[in-house]
Amino acid sequence: MTSAKYHPSDEVLRDFAQGKLSTGMSVALSAHIELCQSCRQRSSELESQEIVSWLQEDRAEPLTSPDFSGMLDLITSQPQSTSTTRAAPQEEEPLVPEIHMLDHSITLPRVLAKAASRGLVWRKLAGGINQAQVLIDNETQCEFLYMTPGSQVPVHRHQGSEVTLVLDGGFEDELGHYGPSDFLVRDKRDQHQPSTEEGCLCFAVLDSPLTFTSGLARLFNPINNYRFRRATSQRF
């Protein structure tokens, strides 16, 4: 467990507690909470507040006596089974607890180990960037990103929101330097160019495609849009 410098806001944690986040965003946040003791405690506090609020709202409603007569008639009218049939247990896919990068291995948070259990297919992108997409929902594009030492991503902005969880190493952009367990949120207001000297493994979730804004990288924008549509068109 490492000490993160960048954390999700209370608003994001509250949305998580209320089940308002997409599954992909929830996976990234769950992984950060597993790695970050302070956010784990804060998330627990907000969940407790939601429970108390729900109970107070529930008690505010007038109490009525339930009518069980119809339910009892329905139950007694059903034929009784003389034998018990148990569904065969489904075999769970083995977890992938580690990702191997260069000369060392990175232990994954449990929720990401489960996300990677179907296998990771790495694709080399320009500039020393490697990408392995994982299918989690049909609202977001979720991927592991490995930036080799000395690499950088072209300058880009986001059409929506991007969440990045640093798993190993570190990278920097115009706004700061980020290390293991850091949880970053970028949106339409941000334009940046991530780069790394030491190398970096991240898990990223996008709810819209990113857009390269300078140089020849702009030629890849139609490909980015296509990859996002393809990633979010999978049926679950």
Res 226: pLDDT: 84
- What pLDDT was estimated at residue 90? 52
Q: Is the pLDDT of residue 40 over 90?
A: yes
- Provide the pLDDT for residue 52: 83
Is the alpha carbon torsion for 161, 174, 134, 1 positive or negative?
negative
Q: Does 39 have pLDDT greater than 60?
A: yes
Q: Model confidence over 151-189: pLDDT tens digits?
A: 999 889 888 999 999 999 999 998 899 999 999 999 988
Neighbours of 187 (CB within 10 A): 13
- Whole-number average pLDDT of the chain: 84
Domains of the chain: 1-59+100-236 (2.60.120.10)
Tell me: pLDDT of 146 over 60.
yes
pTM of the model: 0.79
> Within the chain, what is the greatest distance between any pair of CA atoms?
73
pLDDT tens track for 74-102: 444 545 444 444 545 555 666 768 888 76
Predicted pLDDT of residue 182: 98
Question: What residues contact 212, with CB distance under 8 A and at least 6 apart?
Answer: 154, 155, 156, 218, 220, 221, 224
Specify whether the CB–CB gap between 94 and 117 falls below 8 A.
Answer: yes
